[in-house]
């Protein structure tokens, strides 16, 4: 079983504040690290796919960094908005296998 861990499990953010949370994964045999956004009653949708140590990806106010040597990735949300409320999942890809963490549920309060 691939150990993909996310913390915290949930967090509440005031609208306009910035936040970040962590995904940790096995640092050996790295292949790829994915981030997905999952809104209630919908299906997960990909935010980022990261493959290289030091990768930084950005989409609007959301960005992610990757450290494959120490086995962690951060997701940042800048200036949180209510529409950012969702569960954010990271997934570790090893060969053909794609294993997910339990997610961080973000609630943005207006």
Partner 1 sequence: NAGVTQTPKFQVLKTGQSMTLQCAQDMNHNSMYWYRQDPGMGLRLIYYSASEGTTDKGEVPNGYNVSRLNKREFSLRLESAAPSQTSVYFCASSEPTENTEAFFGQGTRLTVV
Residues that bind partner 1 (CB under 8 A): 1-2, 6, 9, 31-32, 34, 36, 42-46, 49, 51, 89, 91, 93, 95-103
Shortest approach of partner 1 to residue 15 CB, angstroms? Answer: 26
Q: Which is nearer to partner 1, 77 or 90 (CB)?
A: 90
Tell me whether residue 6 or residue 80 sits nearer to partner 1 (CB atom).
Answer: 6
Helix (H, G, I), strand (E, B) or coil at 80: coil
Query: Which is nearer to partner 1, 84 or 88 (by Cβ)?
Result: 88
Q: Least CB distance from residue 42 to partner 1, whole Å?
A: 8
| CA angle (32 as vertex; 91, 88 as ends), nearest 5 | 30
Question: Can you give 41-56 as a three-state secondary structure string?
Answer: CCCCEEEEEECCCCCE
- 54: phi > 0 → left, psi -120 to 50 → alpha, else beta; which? left
């Amino acid at each position: 079983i691939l150990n993909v861990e996310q913390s915290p499990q949930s967090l509440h953010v005031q609208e306009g504040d910035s936040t970040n949370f962590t995904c940790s994964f096995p640092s050996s045999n790295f292949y790829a690290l994915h981030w997905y956004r999952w809104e209630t009653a919908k299906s997960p949708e990909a935010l980022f796919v990261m493959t290289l140590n030091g990768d930084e990806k950005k989409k609007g106010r959301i960005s992610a960094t990757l450290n494959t040597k120490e086995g962690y990735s951060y997701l940042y949300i800048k200036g949180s908005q209510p529409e950012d409320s969702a569960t954010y999942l990271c997934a570790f890809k090893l060969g053909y296998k794609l294993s997910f963490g339990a997610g961080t549920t973000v609630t943005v309060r207006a």
